[in-house]
Amino acid sequence: IARAIDYIHLGDIFQANIAQRFLTDLPAETRPYDVYRRLRRISSAPFAAFLNCGKGRAVISASPERFLSLGPGGVIETRPIKGTRPRGVTTDEDRALAAALIASEKDRAENLMIVDLLRNDLSRVARIGSVRVSKLFELETFARVHHLVSEVQADIAEGLDAVDLLRATFPGGSITGAPKIRAM
């Protein structure tokens, strides 16, 4: 954390996302897929995955964020999330928290920074002139939180595929910070 703060003070990075990995050993009678199913019951995250790695190892993931999709006709889409508020207890409090998120200059600046980073990443594999911001600073509401979401689209360049797209963009900017390489 101290190194990230130093980089920010030096102007080397604008934002860093300090991540944490969670590892656990499950009791012998607990199957990893059962843990995933429980997570899906309590989480409304639209992007979830279970990956059985074999040898008793598995990856369980649930996220509200679409990192990448490559759709019909070669349309690339990424939907970064930057900006989150909890849901309110009352309807009035919930509306106030959502409005505060939409109006937050800090959250909008962070969101825009990542949108710009992703535009740059997509331009490496996109047909020239096709990168576009199709949604900017839209509120998305989930069971427990409000998120500020944007959407960047592009058309993949002729001769390139999903592997090229992943190489050009992984890991996602909303996970790393900006500029991406230095933030990592």
- Which pTM value belongs to this model? 0.81
Last residue of a domain, one of 63, 83, 115: 63
Are residues 174 and 135 both part of a single domain?
yes
Catalytic residue (choose from 29, 55, 82, 135): 82
Q: Is 65 a catalytic residue?
A: yes
Mean pLDDT over each residue of the chain, to the nearest integer: 89
Q: Is 135 a catalytic residue?
A: no
The Cα–Cα gap between 152 and 19 comes to: 24
Are residues 9 and 73 both part of a single domain?
no
- The whole-number pLDDT of residue 178 equals 67
Catalytic residue (choose from 29, 55, 65, 77): 65
Are residues 162 and 117 both part of a single domain?
yes
pLDDT at 146 over 60: yes
pLDDT at 177 over 90: no
Residue span of the structural domain in which 53 resides: 2-63
Local structure of 158: helix, strand or coil: coil
The Cα–Cα gap between 134 and 77 comes to: 9
pLDDT band at 24 (very low <50, low <70, confident <90, very high): confident
Are residues 47 and 73 both part of a single domain?
no
Last residue of a domain, one of 63, 91, 108: 63
- What total number of domains does the chain contain? 2
Are residues 141 and 89 both part of a single domain?
yes
Are residues 107 and 175 both part of a single domain?
yes
* Backbone conformation region of residue 41, classed left if phi is above 0, alpha if psi is from -120 to 50, else beta: alpha
Lowest mean pLDDT among 31-40, 41-50, 92-101, 154-163: 41-50
The Cα–Cα gap between 135 and 79 comes to: 9
Are residues 56 and 89 both part of a single domain?
no
User: Among candidates 134, 135, 128, which has minimal Cα distance to 155?
Assistant: 128
Helices (DSSP H) in the chain: which residue ranges?
Answer: 2-10, 32-42, 91-103, 105-123, 162-169, 173-176, 180-183
Lowest mean pLDDT among 11-25, 27-41, 58-72, 118-132: 11-25
The Cα–Cα gap between 168 and 155 comes to: 14
Are residues 85 and 27 both part of a single domain?
no
pLDDT at 184 over 60: no
pLDDT band at 181 (very low <50, low <70, confident <90, very high): low
